[in-house]
Structure 1
Amino acid sequence: MTPMKRPKRGPVQGSIEVFDPHGDLRLVIGADGTVFQVCSRALARSSPVWEAMLYGPFAEGKDRQSAAGNHWEVTLPEDTAEGFCIPLLAAHCKLTTIPPILDRDTLFAVVAVCDKYVMVECLAPFWRGWIEALPDRYPDPQVLIQELLISHRFGDQENYQAVLLMLLTFLGRDTASGRISVGKRGEYDLSQDIHLDHLGIFPQLELAHRTLFSAVGKRIREAMEKLTNPDSYHLLDGHWQRLCDCAMLGALHRTAALMEVEAWFKPGQEGLGSHTSTCLADVIIQLENMRRSVIAESGMSERQGGAHRDCTPWTPFTLDDIFTEHRVKDLVPFNETVVFKARGESWTNSRSVYD
């Protein structure tokens, strides 16, 4: 089914889009000045922000506009008509006209408005369906972060953790600046992302990056210790064990040199994340390729009966192993009490408002 971007809102009279033909308020939205005719009481019932703004002692309020002899009009140039449309349909009880599927950009615009004007509850019956209908996510950092914010604002902890898992999987570090980034070449600097700033999780992502790469470094260190310590791993008799270890150790150094990742195997491997801009997923893939190359290079896989399988100290590990050891919900907990930077604090002590 093709996502619907702009559902029907109601009859248009000139340049005015009508949500309530008897509406007493006009909203002028966005840089292009789209005008919505709405019911002020419907908006006030939908949100404490609207209640305070429209019926409180503010410039946008009814009393001040009436005293000035003006038609009641509220101008919101920083918002978008696309984001306002669906929340206004809900506020005016036009639920049957709300589309069951939204594309990610439209949904993000809706989230921005609902979060800013505290209207999330108005669309509670639709959130789960919209999130589940989103197309498969890709490791595009801005797409992932948008979906992360969407999931957080709708209270969808399961999807929030799933998106975080994807984000952490493709997390790397710019070795020049030391900043964590996302992308094959570390092209997206997370420290500059305003939405992560709103969520307040950037420090946790930095710590998670160090923790996950330390876990990988620990696995590498354990493999090296088993190869260099003759007392650490004995499944065969001493003679064959020494032959196996020496062959594996030599093959490991040669393979690491060929792959230009010798730094990964030097003392202090727990700082692995500081030595590479490669994302976690690619590091795991490279290590598994290296493990297989080492086994092949050592020649021990050709031993009679394939006994090398029983004595190799370097067992494979996957991303699942790393995230089982370090769970996403522990690395970056879901914080329901996040308070966003609020332009709307002048109206009420409301929660998140987008700049």
Structure 2
Amino acid sequence: MSPLKETGSPELTELDPRGDVVFVVGSAAGEDTPARSFRACSRTMARVSPVFDRMLNGKFTEAKPAASGSGDAAADWVVQLRDDKPDAFALFASIAHAQYRCVPRSLTIDKFYDLTVLTHYYDATPMLTPWLQGWISGIGEVPDVGSEGLLMPKLLWISWELGHKQLFESTARRMVMECQGSMIGEDAGLEELSMPPDIIERINAIRSQTIQSIMDVFRDLYEKLVTVDEGPRWCLHASYMGPHRCESMILGSMTFCLTRAGLWPIPETSDVDDSVVMLYSTLMNLVIHDIGRPGEKGGVDHSECNPRAFLMGQIKDILAEVPSPGLQVYLRCQTPESRTMPGRDPPPDVLLSSPAPAASRTSPLEPEVGIQCEGYNVVLRWDTGIASRGRLTGAPTPADAPPAKRRRTTLSSRSSSGEHPSEKDSDPKPAAPPGREKGRSRELFPRQIPLALPPNPEPSPQHSEPSQAGSPWPGQTEEDRHLYEQSTHLYVSSPANPSSLFEEYYLRGLHLFRKQLESYDGTVNVGVIPNPLMKLFQSAPWSVHLELMTTVYGLGGSLHGSAILDNPDACFPLELMAVMDMPTFVRGRSTMTLGIWHRLRQAQESRHEKAEGGIEVITSLPRSLLDIFSSIQDESSEDALLSWPGELGEIPQIHLWEAYRFAGALTGRRLRRGLGLSSLAPSTELLVGRLVAAIDALCDTRTRPEYDHLLTTNSLLYPYVAARLEVATLQRRPSWMEVLRRAVDICQPYGRSANACNIAEMLDEAWKAGDDDYDIDEHARRRNVEIALF
């Protein structure tokens, strides 16, 4: 065989020095990357790829040339693969020839994409199995340079080709939330990419529908604000033929803010280039003014007419209901026609007689499920192989299907059967609003995006294995661990500089929480607890989910004889739910309490399990003290708190318990305001003084090294809020106010959370107004938030 040393021949790589064929890959003319030549073994290439098998051993131009005469030597066997990328082919052929030293431990998304496009075309994706786990886990660790904002579309293709359903769904979801502008058209840059059929259209349609729904919220409000007397008006204090000062103030403020944001006049969806996440961030920062509270001359309170809380609630509801763009497309893509690789035409006979797609899409990263897919006569299974349209060992024979050309269907030439209704021709676009450019070229996604994300776990009880020994929670599963990680992301999110993935994790965690409740098997799954708990740090309303958990777990009535209590692992999650339900521990709830703690303690007492002492781990409070807090709305609770004997503990803990005692007494008085106090009851000023002293003493202990291991000051929020609400007393004692400000500055680890910011705003509002009767529950409900104080 000739070594191919002719002048101008591409660089030769010896994959097999005894190889009988030379592949010339790429085109040296008109391409940025020059062509390369590879000497390889034809039998090796035929073994790893049925396409190469037919190409090299069939009656095609790529087959081995025969000798011209009986005594003549055979001509050099050279196969031209001008449409393949040399680097991807080099890695593909190195794996085929067992040149494992040439296989990298990690791949950029660009290289991973090129490789899977190549292996899909040659029906050889299963050979990548040994390296997939490492490559998938390393996504995002290797920087992609010059990707031109196409990382997520390429990652979408990779996950589809490898059969990684979770990664496919999460990537499609991210594209919905983070795509900037339309993904259809020349500006998008997706025309030449290999994509699963119809997925880009569906993602673009869902993005458009989401933005349309968000903009419709403001359109509807605008219509209400300009209503004169022909229908119900927005102002709560409006009267027929009355003034419109309230609506005019709100309308002017809203249009000013939207104009500054480049969203006025309210644009059509096609004119919004921002991503859903960017649009959400912009709208959440809108400040809408109202007439406000009456002044000294009297009047009515128009602060309740402010629509901001209503608008933000509507937007959050819209985002919570955004459908998954990936699942249905993913399942539909298992048909033989849709699994045909786009890109270019192989030799005609290969198209006509190549093996039909395998009936088994498998992945080493997925649990087994059974799904009947259209176009097949067998059940698809997820097992241990790799998703490919090729034949897998042991795979059932698929139903016969008409052969499909291996040509890519471009985005502009999709069949009408897969077209989404919103993608059809519409009226000409209106003029762009001020400050917006039309027709400009832009990247769909930022070039540098964090892609090393935990996949979106789907609850699967039959495949959920208990965690290893040493797990922080008994019975914790892998799905629970992912949920906990997502909840922790919410826990540490800063509202001053929120992560762009905040909404993604928020909705993903809520979705999984609901799924795990649906898979209820008679036991309390501790994995559903962290996500709702951490939601409270974002001030998200939680009561409805707590009621749902109470219903699902059968905690609504008496717990005497309940089977849940037979499980020793249920103690922690049940107590945690009871703490979250404790009256006044979460402000702004529509229902003060569901009575979980009281029923739980009664059931434990009936089983002779009730302990007089013991510390509850979430609040760091004695259970005997929590028993009193569970009925804080009762008149007898104040005497019980003031006469509580206490329990033994560390010095910081004792200070904390004292603070909670007096805070509980003050909070109970506010709940029963108007009923009067006994002549023997201590004055409010005395209780506030002792409360401030306990808080000050607790803060001083944090500088002592022997108490470094304690996190007692983390629980200061409840007593701090109770003291701050006593506005009249603090105005008479300004030094106490300074003590409280110092305490919250040095002892509040959650000071930048949305929960803490809402609390600070309401407390400052009460202080500036000098309102000693400030109802924090009512004001929290007006803001559509629930405030966690434990």
Partner of 2:140: 135
Match of 2:321 among 325, 328, 332: 325
- 1:115 Cα deviation from its structure 2 partner: 2.1
- 1:280 Cα deviation from its structure 2 partner: 2.7
Cα distance in 2 for partners of 1:204, 1:215 equals 16
After TM superposition, list the pairs within 5 Å mapping 1:116-265 onto structure 2. Answer: 116-135=121-140, 140-173=148-181, 180-181=182-183, 189-190=187-188, 193-195=191-193, 199-224=197-222, 247-264=249-266
Cα distance in 1 for partners of 2:320, 2:54 equals 47
Partner of 2:699: none
Cα distance in 2 for partners of 1:345, 1:212 equals 44
- 1:120 Cα deviation from its structure 2 partner: 0.9
Cα distance in 1 for partners of 2:407, 2:120 equals 6
- Report 1 or 2 for greater relative contact order, CA contacts < 8 Å, sequence distance ≥ 6: 1
- 1:231 Cα deviation from its structure 2 partner: 5.5
Partner of 1:283: 279
Cα distance in 2 for partners of 1:102, 1:118 equals 20
After TM superposition, list the pairs within 5 Å mapping 1:11-160 onto structure 2. Answer: 16-30=12-26, 31=28, 32-62=34-64, 65-68=65-68, 69-95=74-100, 97-135=102-140, 140-160=148-168
Q: Is residue 190–residue 196 contact of structure 1 (8 Å, CA) maintained in 2?
A: no
- 1:282 Cα deviation from its structure 2 partner: 2.7
Cα distance in 2 for partners of 1:192, 1:217 equals 27
Q: Is residue 206–residue 325 contact of structure 2 (8 Å, CA) maintained in 1?
A: no
Cα distance in 1 for partners of 2:77, 2:136 equals 36
- 1:224 Cα deviation from its structure 2 partner: 4.3
Structure-2 change in CA distance of 1:150 and 1:353 (3 Å): farther
- 1:163 Cα deviation from its structure 2 partner: 2.7
- What SS does the aligned partner of 1:194 have? coil
Cα distance in 2 for partners of 1:115, 1:17 equals 23
TM (norm. structure 2) is 0.35
- 1:102 Cα deviation from its structure 2 partner: 1.3
Structure-2 change in CA distance of 1:94 and 1:318 (3 Å): farther
Structure-2 change in CA distance of 1:140 and 1:74 (3 Å): closer
| Cα shift readout 1:93-151 (whole Å, capped 9, x = no counterpart) | 34465222112332233123212212111102323421331227999532332222222
- 1:318 Cα deviation from its structure 2 partner: 9.2
Structure-2 change in CA distance of 1:308 and 1:299 (3 Å): same
After TM superposition, list the pairs within 5 Å mapping 1:266-345 onto structure 2. Answer: 272-290=268-286, 293-294=287-288, 297-298=289-290, 300=292, 308=303, 312=307, 314-316=310-312, 321-329=317-325, 333-334=329-330, 335-336=333-334, 337-339=338-340, 340-345=342-347
Give the gaps of 5 or more residues in structure 1: 1-11, 174-179
Decide which structure has greater helix share. 1
Cα distance in 2 for partners of 1:130, 1:330 equals 22
Q: Is residue 145–residue 196 contact of structure 1 (8 Å, CA) maintained in 2?
A: no
Counterpart amino acid of residue 168 in structure 1: V
| Cα shift readout 1:141-198 (whole Å, capped 9, x = no counterpart) | 323322222222222232223333333234354xxxxxx259xxx9x72276221667
| Cα shift readout 1:179-224 (whole Å, capped 9, x = no counterpart) | x259xxx9x7227622166744343344223312222133334544
Structure-2 change in CA distance of 1:97 and 1:322 (3 Å): farther
- 1:54 Cα deviation from its structure 2 partner: 0.7
Partner of 1:9: none
- 1:317 Cα deviation from its structure 2 partner: 5.1
| Cα shift readout 1:281-317 (whole Å, capped 9, x = no counterpart) | 3322222222xx21xx3253899xx994796452425
Partner of 1:176: none
Q: Is residue 194–residue 343 contact of structure 2 (8 Å, CA) maintained in 1?
A: no
- What SS does the aligned partner of 2:79 have? strand
Q: Is residue 20–residue 41 contact of structure 2 (8 Å, CA) maintained in 1?
A: yes
- What SS does the aligned partner of 1:144 have? helix
- 1:90 Cα deviation from its structure 2 partner: 2.3
Q: Is residue 169–residue 325 contact of structure 2 (8 Å, CA) maintained in 1?
A: yes
- What SS does the aligned partner of 2:310 have? coil
Structure-2 change in CA distance of 1:202 and 1:119 (3 Å): same
Name which one, 1 or 2, has greater alpha-carbon Rg.
2
- What SS does the aligned partner of 1:37 have? strand
TM (norm. structure 1) is 0.72
Cα distance in 2 for partners of 1:144, 1:319 equals 25
Q: Is residue 343–residue 408 contact of structure 2 (8 Å, CA) maintained in 1?
A: yes
- Identity score, percent: 20
- What SS does the aligned partner of 1:329 have? coil
Cα distance in 1 for partners of 2:94, 2:148 equals 31
- 1:53 Cα deviation from its structure 2 partner: 0.2
Number of residues of Structure 1 aligned to a counterpart in Structure 2: 318
Give the gaps of 5 or more residues in structure 2: 6-10, 29-33, 69-73, 296-300, 355-388, 390-405, 410-790
Structure-2 change in CA distance of 1:257 and 1:198 (3 Å): closer
Structure-2 change in CA distance of 1:314 and 1:342 (3 Å): same
